[in-house]
Chains A and B, each alone.
Chain A
């Protein structure tokens, strides 16, 4: 594989019953990039993310992550995964949650640094059940980051998070990319897309187009990304 690519997906197909969740997707994401997977609900974003972790086995095609063909458990301690909902343990304190994920990944050195970076240090003794949605989101992110993963997968990380915190999240994603991690963010919110280094537009399990927000808008001769997306999706559709 190309040594610089953190993720290489080739012609991946996956059907669930009659639905083509992934319909021949090919993409490559280098280390140090913040890549946005954009598309409507049900486009196949989550299935793609889950195939990167090895939770979905493709019907055909290959998925390589950090040089390993997936599914491969050996690479999982270098992946950070933040699921759609803030999946953390409500009965545990902030620190206990982060420490648990650090232990499971075999790297407990980064707990304090992660808590400080996400401004959770002062609240580390608080029980998660008592926290607001936004703070819980930060705890969830901390759990995905604590072992300094080389690939960070964030499935709609900013859903339900206030605009101020959203800005902080994006700053943080770029900082991680600058440190050499590949960051993949899924979203169906177009105005977030501008913050990504590169975008992939996904619909009906296919990759419609790739490029920066500006490139995609220009290519579709649209006024903004949202219009570009609709136009590209219509051009691709069989009807």
Chain B
């Protein structure tokens, strides 16, 4: 072992990195971006979920609990009638509503028991948890002196306590897995066509650029479709991830996201000269989408400006669509699912155009 020779290797590598600005940028900028995003997502600045409040009791305790809820940092409360609250829950403008029934104060005083009704939308566990915590805390503040039994009646519109974390997140990950893997495989193999010189050669044949793009697309769609079927069957029948909706629709979302990923891969491979550089697109393209597409933290819970960012990321719509279908059992009758599908299709078209146009630019 010669320290001199080992050091020569070290110095050479450091000199190489000094010239490789892109790698340095990724090495030093991406962790800050990713951790910063996580900080904003988890520690907040985020918006508390909207919750409806129905107060049917004029008693003092009910009024105090209602006031405590209105000032709770965990939720943003909108006082309304029972019918309006029900409608808001169905339309998705609140994540749940709390009913303080007529006998709320009386029950507390006579039987030392408080029983608010909590109706939850249920498809986002973090929002359900925040709502339940806000109610419990409000009652704790007001009724601490006489320590009543707390027996809330909780109902769920979708999902509920019998769904576990994988049931909620599985839906999002199905979309992500297809998108991510197909993107990486396409980008690297298209780049290889360029680096091994065969693309130059293909350009000297009657093969049109659009034909190359379509050929790639079809080949990767064969793989991606098989992969989508595999992921779906494995999730539904081996892992028993809960799905209330039409598996065919989930499959349609998967295939569309794969199609978008193929073309994104072709498009971005134009901006990389080596396979190493293509792999560097992963933290740039995939990680922000992983954090911001609503897989980990619901988009509605992000700080306002970040929601704008989430709303332009295509994966947000793919994930939202898959989750609506699987967790809520929504179908094509749902305007939101149709919107999600439309955005994903539009993104596919955009990526196909981008891929075809960048291919054409290669004539000097």
Contacts and interface: CB of A to CB of B under 8 A. Distances in A.
A and B together in one complex: yes
A77 B205 CA distance: 6
A55 B197 contact: no
B363 A106 contact: no
B364 A105 contact: no
B206 interface: yes
Contacts of A124: none
A89 B203 contact: no
Contacts of A50: 364
Nearest to A47: B364
Which of B196, B202, B205: most chain A Cβ within 10 A? B205
Interface in B212-243: none
A10 B196 CA distance: 32
A53 B203 contact: yes
A84 B206 contact: no
A153 B203 CA distance: 13
A56 B208 CA distance: 16
Given A16-B364, A55-B364, A76 B197 contact: no
A73 B204 contact: no
A71 interface: yes
Given A57-B363, A71-B363, A104 B202 contact: yes
A87 interface: yes
A213 interface: no
Contacts of A79: 204
B204 A89 contact: no
Contact of B203 (A55, A57, A84, A143): A55
Interface in A69-120: 71, 73-74, 76-77, 79, 81, 83-85, 87-90, 101, 104-106
B197 A84 contact: yes
A16 B364 CA distance: 9
A101 B201 CA distance: 9
Instruction: Classify the secondary structure of B's interface with A.
Output: loop
A54 B203 CA distance: 9
B200 A104 contact: no
A195 B206 CA distance: 31
A87 B200 contact: yes
B188 to A, nearest CB: 13
Contact of A55 (B196, B204, B206, B207): B204
B198 interface: yes
Which of A16, A85, A153: most chain B Cβ within 10 A? A85
Contacts of A81: 201, 204-205
Nearest to B208: A73
Contacts of A54: 363
Interface in B179-212: 196-198, 200-208
Given A56-B364, A71-B363, A87 B203 contact: no
A17 to B, nearest CB: 11
Nearest to B189: A91
Given A16-B364, A55-B363, A57-B364, A73 B201 contact: no
Contacts of A83: 197, 200-201
A87 B205 CA distance: 14
B196 A87 contact: yes
Interface in B149-205: 196-198, 200-205
Given A76-B204, A79-B204, A87 B197 contact: yes
A197 to B, nearest CB: 23
A76 B206 contact: yes
A106 B206 contact: yes
Contacts of B208: 73
Which of A53, A54, A84, A87: most chain B Cβ within 10 A? A87
Nearest to B215: A104
Nearest to A97: B198
Nearest to B205: A104
B199 to A, nearest CB: 8
A84 B196 CA distance: 11
Contacts of A84: 197
Contacts of A153: 204
B240 to A, nearest CB: 38
Contact of B206 (A16, A57, A87, A105): A105
A28 to B, nearest CB: 21
Interface in A51-74: 53-57, 71, 73-74
Contacts of A77: 205-206
A121 to B, nearest CB: 23
A56 B204 CA distance: 11
| Complex A-B, nearest 10 residue pairs according to Cβ-Cβ distance, in ascending order | A87-B197, A81-B204, A53-B204, A77-B206, A76-B206, A104-B205, A87-B198, A87-B201, A56-B364, A85-B197
Given A55-B200, A81-B201, 4 more contacts: A55-B203, A83-B201, A87-B198, A90-B196
22 contacts: A16-B364, A50-B364, A53-B204, A54-B363, A55-B204, A55-B364, A56-B363, A57-B363, A57-B364, A74-B206, A76-B204, A76-B205, A77-B205, A77-B206, A79-B204, A83-B197, A83-B200, A89-B198, A90-B196, A101-B201, A104-B202, A105-B205
Interface of B: 196-198, 200-208, 363-364
